[in-house]
Structure 1
Amino acid sequence: MAVINTREWLENDLANPIEMLRKCEETYTKTELEQYYEYLKRFGMYTPSAKIRQDLDRLIDKDIWGKTKEIFSKYRALWKGTDIPVYIFPYKGSGRLLRTKDNKSGLAFKDRLFLFIHSTISDKELEAVFVHEYHHVCRLNLLKKSPAKYTLLDSIIMEGLAEYAVSKHVGKDYLAKWTSLYEESEILNYYVRHLKQRLQTKRSDELHDQLLLGMKPYPTMLGYCAGYYMVKKAGLIPIKKSFTISSEVFLKKME
């Protein structure tokens, strides 16, 4: 499938994101597409505006689609990764993930990947956000576990491993901001207070996202930060092993 030509969609229909999402999910009803769009906006998808039109022109000038295609080819070959469609849309500037600059975000599913990109992005930052999200895709496809059984532990380790891949392949300078939000003593304190007894919280439970994202009253990006800390504490892991290693392995280092 590779990188989908959303550039053409955006040039012709920037003001109608619902119609573009219909091309991604042809079987969805209008109501389902509207709900889908609201969900994607939480992670950084744009809202139509004059500024977005200007940013789209700059994204086209920078050939973001061509660059992403090259990055995709590199990591699909390197990781023997899954072939999935990659959809690129402008970034609205308020996505969930706080990376090196507030100019990119992404959302990964087992069978597709979304990138939300601002024109200020550098080539290395583009590679970093792709590596993080594509690592999710590969792990979701290779981990021998039903998605219905995913827990908070699975989610925080998935985030930690994805950012570990960024560190290894792109460099520590391109790690997400949340990897250094807290000192080790703070992370350990938060882990004991907020996470240790709740790691088996199911993904369908409202508490799951509250802890993972660090919604009030919990510390910002709590689950993400704890996941990266746990993965680092476990020591070096071959990248291909990081797609299949059990989340429970990382608990042993915390005991």
Structure 2
Amino acid sequence: MGVISTDEWLKKDFDRPVQMMEKLKGAFRNTLDGDVIYQHLMKHGMYSPTQRTKLTWEHLRDNDAWKKTQALFMAYKKLWGGPDVPIYIFPLMSSGMRKKTNEMKSGLAFEDKLFLFYDKDIDDKEMEAVLIHEYHHVCRLHHLEKEQKEFTLLDTMVMEGLAERTVERYLGAKYLARWTKLYQEDKLQEFWSKHIEGQHSIKRTEPLHDILLRGQKGYPHMLGYCCGFYLVGKSEKISVKKSFIIQSEEFL
């Protein structure tokens, strides 16, 4: 499988993303229609058609983003013995909509598929960083015998932390997501005690899960992500393959 030719989809239907998403119904076992898929992907960085995002698409096409991502995927799949999944690449939403982050990339991982969203100025190492992060999620979801709806806040935090620590392992601190550098360690300890400690077992299906994870409604920005990165950083150095199977509770 690997990288799907979404560059061809974009060539034909750039201005009709909902229609384009109909092609993904099979990937979602035909349980969702194109509009629902598009709305879901937009929450994670999917473009909406503008002059700027059209330039992004053209830039990515001219820069061989699809070919480069395929080469990276094949390398990490072999290195980690990971599953073969389809990868869908689309332009990233325009910067005005990204609010507090100024990332060149975003992604969304499932056990059986992967979405990557690239900005036009993304360099090859940034592409590698987001692929490592999101494919790490795929591998961990593949190995954990737990349905995603059963995930707790702790599970999600550990998953995000481990994925980003794996980016650091291969590419160094320079390519960590900007949210990893938002707070000092003592601040994160304080946040953990104040906001997370009594709440880390709430299920992913509860509204508070995403509020705490992203730091919304008055909570510190990217709260759960940052605490997860801090939490797994305190563990002993575990191998990448062990990081796919280690239980979240072990980090407590």
- 1:142-161 C-alpha deviation (Å, 9 max, x unpaired): 01223232100000000000
Task: State the partner residue of 1:244.
Answer: 245
Matched-pair contact (CA < 8 Å) for 2:47–2:91? yes
Matches within 5 A, 1:131-146: 131-146=132-147
1:170 offset after TM fit, Å?
1.7
Task: State the partner residue of 2:3.
Answer: 3
- 1:182-240 C-alpha deviation (Å, 9 max, x unpaired): 01111000000000000100000000000011112110000000000011111311000
Task: State the partner residue of 2:167.
Answer: 166
Task: State the partner residue of 1:13.
Answer: 13
1:58 offset after TM fit, Å?
0.9
Q: Which residue identity lines up with residue 146 of structure 1 in the other structure?
A: E
Q: 1:135 to 1:248 in 2, by over 3 A?
A: same
CA distance in structure 2 between the aligned counterparts of 1:9 and 1:63, rounded to whole angstroms: 15
CA distance in structure 2 between the aligned counterparts of 1:38 and 1:139, rounded to whole angstroms: 25
CA distance in structure 1 between the aligned counterparts of 2:116 and 2:50, rounded to whole angstroms: 19
CA distance in structure 1 between the aligned counterparts of 2:148 and 2:40, rounded to whole angstroms: 19
CA distance in structure 1 between the aligned counterparts of 2:225 and 2:108, rounded to whole angstroms: 15
Q: Which residue identity lines up with residue 82 of structure 1 in the other structure?
A: P
Structure 1: unaligned runs, 5 residues or longer: none
CA distance in structure 2 between the aligned counterparts of 1:149 and 1:96, rounded to whole angstroms: 30
Residue 198 of structure 1 aligns to a residue whose secondary structure is coil
Task: State the partner residue of 1:46.
Answer: 47
1:95 offset after TM fit, Å?
5.0
Matched-pair contact (CA < 8 Å) for 1:4–1:86? yes
Matches within 5 A, 1:1-255: 1-26=1-26, 28=30, 32-92=33-93, 93=95, 94=97, 98=101, 101-251=102-252
Task: Give identity over the alignment, percent.
Answer: 46
Matched-pair contact (CA < 8 Å) for 1:42–1:95? no
Q: Which residue identity lines up with residue 7 of structure 1 in the other structure?
A: D
Matched-pair contact (CA < 8 Å) for 1:138–1:243? yes
Matched-pair contact (CA < 8 Å) for 1:159–1:228? yes
Matched-pair contact (CA < 8 Å) for 1:43–1:97? no
Residue 88 of structure 2 aligns to a residue whose secondary structure is strand
Matched-pair contact (CA < 8 Å) for 2:107–2:114? yes
- 1:91-111 C-alpha deviation (Å, 9 max, x unpaired): 01345994xx52210000111
TM-score of the superposed pair, with normalisation by structure 2: 0.94
Residue 86 of structure 1 aligns to a residue whose secondary structure is strand
Matched-pair contact (CA < 8 Å) for 2:20–2:34? no
CA distance in structure 2 between the aligned counterparts of 1:115 and 1:84, rounded to whole angstroms: 13
1:129 offset after TM fit, Å?
0.5
Matched-pair contact (CA < 8 Å) for 2:55–2:120? no
CA distance in structure 2 between the aligned counterparts of 1:218 and 1:51, rounded to whole angstroms: 32
Give the 4+ runs in structure 1 shifted more than 6 A.
none
CA distance in structure 2 between the aligned counterparts of 1:42 and 1:225, rounded to whole angstroms: 20
Q: 1:141 to 1:107 in 2, by over 3 A?
A: same
Matched-pair contact (CA < 8 Å) for 1:46–1:90? yes
Matched-pair contact (CA < 8 Å) for 1:107–1:114? yes
- 1:113-139 C-alpha deviation (Å, 9 max, x unpaired): 000101100100000001000000000
Aligned residues: 248
Q: Which residue identity lines up with residue 231 of structure 2 in the other structure?
A: M
- 1:23-80 C-alpha deviation (Å, 9 max, x unpaired): 1224647x73212211211111000112222221111110000000000001000000
Moved more, 101-110 or 205-214: 101-110
